Amino acid sequence: MTQIYLDFNASTPLSPPVAELMHQLIDSGYGNPSSTHWAAAPARDAIDTARQQVAALLGCDSHEIIFTSGGSESNNLALKGAFLARRDRNAVHIVTTCIEHPATLSPCRFLESMGARVTYLPVDKTGRVDPKDVRAALGPDTLLISVMHANNEVGTIQPIAEISAIAREHGILMHTDAAQSVGKLATRVDELGVDLLSIAGHKIYAPKGIGALYIRRGTRIEPLIHGAGHEAGLRAGTESALLIAALGKACETVPSKSDLDRIERLRDLLWKGIKAAFHDRAVLNGHPRHRLPNTLNVGFKGHTGAGILASLPGVAASTGSACHEDRIEISPVLQAMGVPADVAVGAVRFSLGRTTTKTEITAVIEMLRPAAAADSSSALTAPT
């Protein structure tokens, strides 16, 4: 069976430069980077280099980068850390959206149990939040705004720079979860205007278990893990030089613009093929323009997402709904966008990457044709 991987938004394979560097460090980077002897030097140097590589991608100072275990920890550190470190004890309000990743929504709900007040803003039918709604939600007790840069399910890109300008105008911290956008979009922190930005390594061809949080100089954050003074005192625990170096190399070798343009053309080719086969029974979920170049979320009317994937043997992709014994649970993101139930239950996310080929996309289109033909046959024989 031919295997085709179209689930890059879930996780990416290691890029060759990352894998090569990790092999080199397995034997030489075993020392504790906090030690001062010769065995620590390779690990310490690898971490210093990686911090500079991540900072170069984001356009910030290397001292503003804190390494974490991944995007979830970075989001938790940003949200909980900002809330716990607030100077004004009356600043308890957080503004976010209803389509955030659980790594943002769950910390927000936890903080509500600690006295935080959280506003969950709606989005439009394309998955975009209106900056006017952000402005209207602010109050004298607002501490933080947290809006993801790009949605992991439908790929919709949020107007982060515009929202950040509103935050600065009111002296409010701005955080963005950039796990899906780093390496696919420009993520220069000064252009985005953010104070906090989260990265997940396994979304950019680095290993799982490593991430980073950008913290703008002067931003107060209370650490979640206390111990020795690692990571500028913000994240205790001996650093993994192996994983950190891998993240740095991944940030240094993100796909080029030409790579991303090629991926976007393949994504559009897939959509064109699906639309030609299914016609109005295939619906695009997400923004038609403000969308990640690799992401295509399609609702197949008359099908379940699981049913579509069953017709694609060997293809790795994700559905927009969860099938249980007696019901189908629609994605909260699609629900928040107001996607009709008959479209949402048939949602499938295809997310492409740097190894995706035109041959693979053509093969997927061909595998989908029988399902499209069966739809047409049913329509022709349906009673009037």
Rounded distance between C-alpha atoms, residue 109 and residue 28, angstroms: 43
- CB-count burial class (<10 Å; 0-12, 13-18, 19+) for 98: middle
Neighbours of 366 (CB within 10 A): 11
Q: State both tokens at 285.
A: 């979920």
Strand partners, 328: 323
Beta carbons within 10 angstroms of residue 152's beta carbon: 24
Query: What ranges in the chain are assigned the alpha helix state H?
Result: 16-28, 41-58, 71-84, 102-113, 131-137, 160-169, 189-192, 241-252, 257-278, 305-310, 332-336, 341-344, 358-381
Active-site residue flag, 323: yes
Residue 320's closest CA among 177, 155, 134?
155
Contact 175, 213 (CB under 8 A): no
* Calpha distance 116→238 (Å, rounded): 32
Contact 93, 119 (CB under 8 A): yes
Catalytic residue (choose from 60, 98, 251, 323): 323
Contacts for 218 with CB less than 8 Å, ≥ 6 apart: none
Q: What distance in Å separates the CA atoms of residue 25 and residue 240, rounded to the nearest whole number? A: 11
Distances (CA, A) of 310 to 270, 290, 368: 18, 30, 10
State the catalytic residues: 323
